[in-house]
């Protein structure tokens, strides 16, 4: 990848935050009831219908899906590709109902390259898990089945934190996740404390949680701007950073991948800005590699390449 140009600061709320989320808590409760009553196989019939509805009704999402898939597949995306993309997204949302009710036995889960992560945890030190809107981030909780001492918290945009709490209450009121709302005054202190306590702090790092600085890097053949906030936090706190993806592979199969991006165990090797750039470059390379390998798993249904340009000065 080529070197990134200087950072730029956004003056507007990121496009994904401006979009009104479809659905509500009532329908989540209805879907939860149907899913747990009928089981995954039968209730998936509803998921196929939901995916078809969004394919036909959500024009902007359909346009963004086509633009992304054309890049990821290296060919023009057809209607079946668009449907498969939306169906994969709908499936991961549906499967969230079972995951949050601890029904991991229903899934064939394969975990790759988690040995370093477990070894780091045995030292009592925390780490960052940088994911993306790629596959199912909820699959992360499955690794704790074999190691109950693993603690995971999630740092996210305050509005997303509210939505997550509403979603959890609708799906399983007994499930409580440790959520840190980014953008708050004490967010950095809270992240630092969790890391000090040996927790894994998960962040979906492909979207800004608000006004942020960006670096432009090649992604799927064209320049795209990525928020630097999570990466500046990691460089500042100097804890290991792993890339994490829980990819849906069809049927009931999921593959969970971990990849060490930076260790930060030694003294700084460069300036802070250069370390941020190096870390972000590795992150984008890992994200692109998984998008190529599992193209229907990336769920940013807006123009990822255009929106950052229109929001920065």
Residues 108, 115: Cα–Cα separation, whole Å: 19
Q: What is the pLDDT of residue 3?
A: 44
DSSP at 113? S
CA dihedral sign of residues 41, 46, 49, 53: negative
Q: What is the pLDDT of residue 264?
A: 83
Residues 110, 116: Cα–Cα separation, whole Å: 16
Q: What is the pLDDT of residue 249?
A: 95
Helices (H), 58-113: 59-73, 79-99
Give the mean pLDDT per block of 10 residues along the chain (313 residues): 47 45 60 80 90 92 95 96 96 88 88 80 84 88 69 74 60 66 80 89 83 87 91 91 95 94 79 91 97 95 70 41
Residues 115, 297: Cα–Cα separation, whole Å: 24
Question: Residue 24: how many CB atoms within 10 A of its CB?
Answer: 10
- What are 115's two structure tokens? 């040995």
Nearest 5°: the CA angle 19, 243, 162 is 35
Which helix (DSSP H) or strand (DSSP E) does residue 109 occupy?
Answer: strand 108-112
């Amino acid at each position: 990848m080529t070197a990134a140009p200087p950072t730029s600061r956004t003056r507007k709320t990121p496009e994904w935050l401006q979009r009104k989320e479809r659905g509500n808590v009532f329908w989540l409760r209805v879907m939860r009831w149907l899913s747990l009553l009928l089981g995954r196989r039968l209730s998936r019939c509803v998921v196929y219908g939901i995916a078809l509805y969004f394919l036909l009704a959500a024009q902007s999402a359909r346009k963004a899906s086509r633009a992304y898939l054309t890049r990821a597949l290296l060919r023009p995306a057809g209607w079946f590709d668009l449907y498969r993309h939306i169906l994969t997204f709908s499936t991961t949302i549906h499967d969230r109902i079972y995951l949050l009710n601890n029904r991991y036995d229903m899934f064939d889960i394969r975990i790759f390259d988690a040995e370093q992560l477990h070894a780091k945890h045995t030292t009592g030190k925390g780490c960052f898990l940088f994911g993306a809107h790629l596959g199912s981030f909820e699959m992360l909780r499955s690794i704790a089945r074999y190691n109950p001492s693993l603690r995971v918290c999630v740092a996210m945009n305050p509005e997303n934190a509210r939505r997550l709490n509403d979603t959890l209450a609708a799906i399983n009121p007994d499930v409580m996740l440790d959520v840190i709302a980014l953008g708050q005054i004490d967010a950095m202190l809270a992240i630092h404390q969790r890391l000090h306590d040996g927790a894994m702090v998960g962040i979906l790092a492909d979207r800004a949680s608000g006004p942020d600085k960006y670096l432009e890097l090649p992604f799927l053949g064209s320049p795209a701007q990525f928020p630097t906030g999570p990466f500046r936090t990691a460089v500042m706190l100097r804890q290991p950073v792993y890339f994490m993806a829980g990819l849906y592979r069809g049927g009931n199969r999921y593959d969970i991948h971990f990849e060490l991006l930076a260790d930060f165990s030694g003294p700084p090797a460069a300036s802070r800005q250069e370390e941020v750039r190096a870390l972000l470059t590795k992150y984008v390379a890992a994200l692109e590699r998984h998008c190529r390998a599992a193209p229907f798993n990336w769920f940013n249904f807006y123009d990822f390449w255009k929106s950052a340009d229109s929001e920065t000065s």
